[in-house]
Amino acid sequence: MKIGFIGTGAITTAMVEGLCTTENPPSDIVVSPRNKNKAEKLAARFENVRIAGDNQIVIDECDCIVLAVVPQIAAPVLGALHFRKKQQIISVIAIKLISEIKSLVDPATDIIRAIPLPTAARHMGPIAFFPYTSWADKIFRDIGDSIAVNDEKELGIIAAITALMAPYYALMEAVCRWGVAAGMDSKASGSYVGSMFQAISVLARESSADCFENLAAEASTPGGLNEQALKEIRKQDGFDAFTKALDVVLARLKGSSAGC
Ligand SMILES: NC(=O)c1ccc[n+]([C@@H]2O[C@H](COP(=O)([O-])OP(=O)(O)OC[C@H]3O[C@@H](n4cnc5c(N)ncnc54)[C@H](OP(=O)(O)O)[C@@H]3O)[C@@H](O)[C@H]2O)c1
């Protein structure tokens, strides 16, 4: 399959890296010339990646097209291109509904929306998409956990949840700094926090999805340190800060008509 990318930025770089490092990489990947630096790096690194002369050449040469420009320029950029009826379209453009994308890629109708993450570069992490199609599922399985959702409303909720990546890293940073302030060596603090968060995240992922509460209970030995820390955070409504942030992000997405 020939896969083309319109918009060679952060998420295209991650998806191309992921696709090119699977056991069966696509025979041909064609990227648009912007961003020049990122496109050149991908083409230099992977034999099967080529840079097209312009966006229309990407469309003309590929069967499956990934739309990966920022939403603000989606209409002028895509509206100027000529798609084919039988093309498969993956839009990773935030906020834009399938109905909006449809009008921009007419006459193509085989369109899905997806939310890949930068972790796709390492074949990790969720890739939520809608509607389910076997061709998209096959592509996403190679670069992460392919998760078909029920409608665009769920995609909107997932988009809000993805906003917790930066807060998660910031929590790790805060814990790390606290360790240093309490007297730890900064390198040891960083290594310890990174390794601990990684290990407990892997355990949580491998447990069944509805039992995060059980994991918290299991880690909370009666009278122990985890139980004490959990009680303290709950007493200060610490987790409410996260769910309130999610409410605000979701409200913003709803305001931009992302189908949530
Ligand atoms: N980053 C993520 O984790 C993530 C995850 C899921 C979805 N998304 C969505 O994916 C889309 C792209 O995000 P991103 O993070 O990859 O953004 P980005 O790094 O800013 O990439 C967008 C790319 O589009 C290029 N571009 C600008 N004008 C163009 C044109 N006329 N034709 C073709 N390409 C053009 C830009 O090139 P220049 O640098 O030369 O301007 C830039 O490289 C967004 O809609 C975003 O919401 C991102």
Q: What is the CATH number for 122?
A: 3.40.50.720
The verdict on 194 and 131 lying in the same domain is no
The answer to whether residue 45 is domain-embedded is yes
CATH number, domain containing residue 211: 1.10.3730.10
Q: How far is the CA of 223 from the centre of ligand 1 (A)?
A: 50
Of 117, 149, 181, the residue that ends a domain is 149
Q: How many domains does the chain have?
A: 2
Q: Distance, CA 233 to ligand 1 centroid (Å)?
A: 38
Domain boundary among 149, 171, 204: 149
Q: Does 167 lie in the same domain as 141?
A: no
Residues 140 and 187 in one domain: no
For ligand 1, atom 17: residue with the closest CA: 9
Q: Which domain holds residue 118?
A: 2-149
Q: What is the pLDDT of residues 93-109, one digit of tens each?
A: 998 999 999 999 999 99
For ligand 1, which residues put their CB under 6 angstroms from it? 6-12, 32, 34-35, 38, 55, 68-71, 73, 77, 92-94, 115-118
Task: Give the C-alpha separation, 82 to 142, whole Å.
Answer: 29
Residues 66 and 29 in one domain: yes
CB 257 within 8 A of CB 97: yes
In this structure, what is the dihedral angle of CA atoms 192, 194, 196, 199, given to the nearest 10 degrees?
A: -140
Are residues 18 and 125 both part of a single domain? Answer: yes
Q: Is residue 130 part of a domain?
A: yes
Residue with tokens 């998806």: 15
Distances (CA, A) of 87 to 3, 80, 90, 133: 10, 17, 10, 13
Could you tell me if 141 and 13 lie in one domain?
Answer: yes
Atom of ligand 1 nearest to the CA of 6: 33
Q: Considering 111, 127, 149, which residue would you say is the last residue of a domain?
A: 149
**DSSP 8-state secondary structure symbol assigned to residue 184:** -
* Shared-domain flag, residues 186 and 100: no
In this structure, the answer to whether residues 112 and 169 fall within a common structural domain is no
Q: Residue 260: its pLDDT value, please?
A: 61
Task: Please tell me whether residues 203 and 126 are part of one structural domain.
Answer: no
Same structural domain, 133 and 174: no
Q: Mean pLDDT by 10-residue block, N- to C-terminus, for the chain (260 residues)?
A: 96 98 94 97 98 98 97 96 97 95 97 98 97 97 97 96 97 98 97 97 84 92 97 97 97 75
> In angstroms, rounded to a whole number, what is the distance separating the alpha carbons of residues 76 and 96?
13
Residue 255's pLDDT is 84
Same domain, 126 and 178: no
| Enclosing H/E stretch for 241 | helix 238-255
Q: What is residue 254's predicted lDDT score, i.e. its pLDDT?
A: 87
Nearest to 26 by CA among 62, 58, 57: 62
- Position 260 in a domain: no
Instruction: Clarify whether residues 138 and 170 are in a common domain.
Output: no
Global pTM?
Answer: 0.93
